[in-house]
Chains A and B, each alone.
Chain A
Amino acid sequence: MREEILRMEHILCTEGGAPKLNYLSLQIFRGEIYGILCLENQGIDKLVELLCWNRPLENGQVFFGEELVNSMQESSGRRNKVTVIGRQSRLIDGLTLADNLFVIREGFRRHVIPDRAVQTETANVLKQYGIELSPKTRVSELGSYHRLVLEVLKSVIAGDRLTILWEISDLLSAEELPRFHSLIRRLADQGSTFLYIYSHHEVLRPVCDRIAIFKGNTIEKVLTVQSTIREQIQTVYARYCYEKFFNIRKDMEEKPRGSEVLCLQRVSFGNIRELSFSITKGENLLLFDQSNTILDELTGLLLGREKPESGNIYPALSAESRGKTVAVIQRNPVSSTLFPELSYLENLCFPLAEKVPYFWQKSKFRRSVLKEYREEIGPAIEAGSLYGLSTRELYTLVYYRYLISKPDVVVCVQPFAELDMYLRSYVGELISRLHRNGTAVLVLNTELYDTLYIADRLIQVEHGRIIGEYPRERFDEVKLAQPVIFPD
């Protein structure tokens, strides 16, 4: 007999007339790791909200532990015993591991904290799960992996019925992810229950018991993880996405090496150790940071904000040269690099304005851009502000900025982070478009799901040093040799 932890039946929620959840049903049992594969992201935030809070429903019922907690007829508005572990950490940086685990939790009512007992208990928990940290370590000193582990343990200790892992995989490196999965598998075997939400099946497949396909604001099908699941997802559910990626790869022609547009020679900075590589005009280079230690530092160097401790970068980069020679598209660019109060066209022309003198004073430049790109971008180009535009339209804006301004190199930092499967393939097309335009593209990533399709060359970096370099012809060979690191 299985113990049911959560059941949602025919949940209907709308906002502004559009469905956020469209007759969604799901059921999770104790000790299960239930995956949700987001082919589309719309509605997931509402699902998570309803799991945490008993908000009003237009239809359906929610059961926790086989007891009705929310329904169309009655919504208490109360919070459920659910923890969400996502991008935003709920740990208190200034406190220790022990305090975060045992003191800062619901139900801790003591006025005098028994410090020694708390430390001992924390040490026991850490030892039980093979975590080599002192209970007195401050959370601010921890990396992403240990933070996530701490949040998971905190949820388990607090006795939460369900722990939701929401788009956390790109916070972890390719080495850390299997360790994290191993931990949650162990906790699930001991009776904890997890809902793992992510937008790539290769993350979910190794660890989940079942995977639900989320599309069209509902769960379309629930698949039991078995040997054929990868093929099923690639050929049926995500077929549209993979066809696009296959077409991108097919269209990538062999080009003779152009002139070098960016070169790093024995560069050292922070965790970066004597990094040397170059990228030529029209090339798409993928730099895979396997241990997730250098991305931020390398981005700082490429933005011109930092100077290397040793080595050289050609051409020399500074804040002034940014955007002209090297443009950087950071992770989740729609929330950090766009100006929502300005019009679409104004946002589109920003990088171009840095290259063309008196750009803003002469409206003919903007009219020319509008005329040339109206057909490609669509009616969104005439939007007076960015409010109300879809995520796809905003990503079009981000990449078209550089299609128009044509810098020598465009650096894309984790370009697929936080995107659903459909948007991943679309962004892949945009990157491929840059590449076909003759712009060199440097993709910095900590995982390889789908990025290999758009790369000409791969550089594998571990702990700040290059450990391998592979041209496109050798990608299959490398995949076979290291299947854990190099999926599909």
Chain B
Amino acid sequence: MEEDRKEEKIYLYGRLRRVLAALGVVLFLFAVAALFSAADSPAFWLLLVLLLAALALLAGAYCRIWKPYADTDRKLGVFAVRGRKEDLEQIRYYLRPQEELAVERMLQYMTTSNTLELSKRQAQYQALQNQINPHFLYNTLESIRSEALLAGLDSVASMCEKLASFFRYTISNMENLVTVEQEIDNIITYFYIQQYRFGDRLQLEIVCPDEDREIAMKCLIPKLTFQPVVENAIIHGIEQKIGQGKVTIHMMLTRKRLIIRISDDGVGMDQETLNRINGQMTERSVRGKSQGGIAIGNVHNRIKLLFGEEYGLTVFSTKGIGTDVEITLPRTAEQERKEIEHRAEEMK
């Protein structure tokens, strides 16, 4: 049955073109023959006028019907390749109202699908947050900390404090935007926790030119931009390596951008993996979950959703040398927070 259905797909456009072309040739030959046969009769001039009128009609049909529809045809072709809503939205000419309705319905489905996906993600995130009751968690950690202090285990107490601080930042307070300084503080906390596991093997360095530091620290960025990248650097880079590993966060400002490069000297990745990751960055997808945390693909997508197509992540890596993740963001200040958050709400 399915094979039968497949055979039924016929492209009428080709047939239409052939038929019209054949008809045009036949009519033209008929007209010319008629003209020649009526050369000496009074009907000659009438036939000539009719022929010229037919040609004018054809020219008009070409400009007013054929060319506009060719434009629509091209845009549908572009949509078929790229699959982007914007390509459908640009279509202006339709053969019949039913075509327009069909395109509108398609746009609706696409919008709904994206929204559903985003909503689902948001719901997953909130469900996760609700499962982990923050107050219960902080209270428990505080109890552990107290017990540790009483037992003279200062290191355990310190670890609990840092963990509480980390969770407080990560799962509470659902703001979209935080300052770079807040993200850096969170990374320092995260590193402190990780160093309990890795010890001296793991080092962190934060580099920023002095003249840029003050402004850079106040720039607004999406929450949890750095942490997934740093986590990947540790798990996939440094953990796999024998010996010490270093993560460097380098920040720099240009006239319009904040550029953050997170580098590690871990094991790096091969070219195939690098190409796959950079290829995935170009797909606007909310899928792509890694085993822990929010994947860097998600970070990339959030940056694009909040700030636009000009910004995002790029990954450079060489096996055996390390990986650099470059994050570009606009230089946003506090006063622009409301505008960006409003835009984020509209996206939902």
Residues of A within 8 A of B (CB): 1-4, 7, 9-10, 12, 22-23, 25, 27, 29, 59-61, 63, 66, 68, 71, 73, 213, 215-216, 218-222, 232, 236-237
Q: Mark B254-288, 1 if CB is under 8 A from A, else 0.
A: 11110100000000000100110011011000000
Instruction: Please give the distance in Å from B91's CB to the nearest CB on chain A.
Output: 15
Whether the Cβ atoms of A23 and B271 lie closer than 8 Å is no
Whether the Cβ atoms of A222 and B310 lie closer than 8 Å is no
Known pairs A2-B254, A213-B318, A236-B320; A10 contacts B282 (CB<8 A): yes
Task: Note all chain A residues with C-beta closer than 8 A to B278.
Answer: 10, 23, 25, 218
Nearest B residue to A239, CB-CB? B320
Nearest B residue to A68, CB-CB? B310
Q: Which one of A22, A29, A215, A222 contacts B324 once the chains associate, using CB atoms below 8 Å? A: A222
Considering the chains assembled together, what is the distance between the CA atoms of A3 and B259 in angstroms? 12
Residues of B within 8 A of A (CB): 86, 211-212, 252-257, 259, 271, 274-275, 278-279, 281-282, 309-310, 312, 314, 316-318, 320-321, 324, 326, 328
Q: Apart from A66-B256, A236-B321, what are 20 other A-B pairs with CB-CB below 8 Å? A: A3-B255, A9-B312, A9-B314, A9-B328, A10-B282, A10-B314, A22-B275, A23-B278, A23-B282, A25-B326, A27-B326, A29-B254, A59-B282, A61-B309, A61-B310, A63-B310, A66-B254, A216-B271, A221-B318, A221-B324
Known pairs A4-B255, A4-B257; A23 contacts B312 (CB<8 A): no
Whether the Cβ atoms of A73 and B282 lie closer than 8 Å is no
Whether the Cβ atoms of A221 and B317 lie closer than 8 Å is yes
Whether the Cβ atoms of B318 and A73 lie closer than 8 Å is no
Whether the Cβ atoms of A66 and B271 lie closer than 8 Å is no
Whether the Cβ atoms of A220 and B86 lie closer than 8 Å is no
26 residue pairs of the A-B complex, CB under 8 angstroms, read: A1-B211, A1-B254, A1-B255, A2-B252, A2-B254, A3-B254, A4-B256, A4-B257, A9-B312, A10-B281, A10-B282, A10-B314, A23-B278, A23-B282, A25-B314, A25-B326, A61-B309, A66-B255, A71-B309, A73-B86, A215-B271, A218-B275, A221-B316, A221-B324, A232-B321, A236-B321
Task: Note all chain A residues with C-beta closer than 8 A to B321.
Answer: 221, 232, 236
Task: Note all chain A residues with C-beta closer than 8 A to B316.
Answer: 25, 219-222
10 smallest beta-carbon distances between A and B, as pairs: A23-B278, A25-B314, A4-B254, A221-B318, A66-B256, A1-B253, A221-B316, A216-B271, A10-B282, A59-B282
Task: Note all chain B residues with C-beta closer than 8 A to A9.
Answer: 312, 314, 328
Task: Note all chain A residues with C-beta closer than 8 A to B314.
Answer: 9-10, 25
Considering the chains assembled together, what is the distance between the CA atoms of A7 and B310 in angstroms? 10
Considering the chains assembled together, what is the distance between the CA atoms of A222 and B261 in angstroms? 11
Task: Note all chain B residues with C-beta closer than 8 A to A236.
Answer: 318, 320-321
Nearest B residue to A219, CB-CB? B316
Known pairs A23-B279, A66-B254, A216-B275; A237 contacts B318 (CB<8 A): yes
Instruction: Please give the distance in Å from B310's CB to the nearest CB on chain A.
Output: 7
Q: Which one of B275, B318, B320 contacts A23 once the chains associate, using CB atoms below 8 Å? A: B275
Nearest A residue to B311, CB-CB? A9
How many Cβ-Cβ contacts under 8 Å join chain A to chain B?
Answer: 73
Task: Note all chain B residues with C-beta closer than 8 A to A60.
Answer: 282
Instruction: Please give the distance in Å from B106's CB to the nearest CB on chain A.
Output: 20
Q: Which one of B212, B317, B326, B328 contacts A1 once the chains associate, using CB atoms below 8 Å? A: B212
Considering the chains assembled together, what is the distance between the CA atoms of A213 and B324 in angstroms? 13
Considering the chains assembled together, what is the distance between the CA atoms of A213 and B317 in angstroms? 10
Considering the chains assembled together, what is the distance between the CA atoms of A237 and B255 in angstroms? 34
Instruction: Please give the distance in Å from A6's CB to the nearest CB on chain B.
Output: 12
Q: Which one of A1, A12, A29, A213 contacts B282 once the chains associate, using CB atoms below 8 Å? A: A12
Nearest B residue to A215, CB-CB? B271
Considering the chains assembled together, what is the distance between the CA atoms of A237 and B317 in angstroms? 11
Considering the chains assembled together, what is the distance between the CA atoms of A219 and B212 in angstroms? 27
Task: Note all chain A residues with C-beta closer than 8 A to B328.
Answer: 7, 9
Considering the chains assembled together, what is the distance between the CA atoms of A61 and B253 in angstroms? 20
Considering the chains assembled together, what is the distance between the CA atoms of A3 and B86 in angstroms? 33
Task: Note all chain B residues with C-beta closer than 8 A to A220.
Answer: 271, 274, 316-318
Considering the chains assembled together, what is the distance between the CA atoms of A15 and B255 in angstroms? 35
Scoring A27, A59, A63, A221 by chain B CB atoms within 10 A of each residue's CB, the highest score goes to: A221
Considering the chains assembled together, what is the distance between the CA atoms of A237 and B278 in angstroms? 20
Task: Note all chain B residues with C-beta closer than 8 A to A3.
Answer: 254-255
Considering the chains assembled together, what is the distance between the CA atoms of A236 and B309 in angstroms? 34
Task: Note all chain B residues with C-beta closer than 8 A to A71.
Answer: 309
Task: Note all chain A residues with C-beta closer than 8 A to B256.
Answer: 4, 66
Considering the chains assembled together, what is the distance between the CA atoms of A73 and B317 in angstroms? 28
Instruction: Please give the distance in Å from A310's CB to the nearest CB on chain B.
Output: 55
Task: Note all chain B residues with C-beta closer than 8 A to A219.
Answer: 316
Whether the Cβ atoms of A2 and B275 lie closer than 8 Å is no
Instruction: Please give the distance in Å from A289's CB to the nearest CB on chain B.
Output: 36
Considering the chains assembled together, what is the distance between the CA atoms of A3 and B252 in angstroms? 10
Task: Note all chain A residues with C-beta closer than 8 A to B281.
Answer: 10, 23
Considering the chains assembled together, what is the distance between the CA atoms of A213 and B268 in angstroms? 15
Task: Note all chain A residues with C-beta closer than 8 A to B312.
Answer: 9
Instruction: Please give the distance in Å from B333's CB to the nearest CB on chain A.
Output: 15
Task: Note all chain A residues with C-beta closer than 8 A to B86.
Answer: 73
Considering the chains assembled together, what is the distance between the CA atoms of A218 and B274 in angstroms? 10
Instruction: Please give the distance in Å from A222's CB to the nearest CB on chain B.
Output: 6
Task: Note all chain A residues with C-beta closer than 8 A to B279.
Answer: 23
Scoring A7, A23, A29 by chain B CB atoms within 10 A of each residue's CB, the highest score goes to: A23
Task: Note all chain A residues with C-beta closer than 8 A to B310.
Answer: 61, 63, 68
Instruction: Please give the distance in Å from A343's CB to the nearest CB on chain B.
Output: 35
Task: Note all chain A residues with C-beta closer than 8 A to B326.
Answer: 25, 27
Instruction: Please give the distance in Å from A422's CB to the nearest CB on chain B.
Output: 14
Instruction: Please give the distance in Å from A334's CB to the nearest CB on chain B.
Output: 27
Task: Note all chain B residues with C-beta closer than 8 A to A222.
Answer: 316, 324
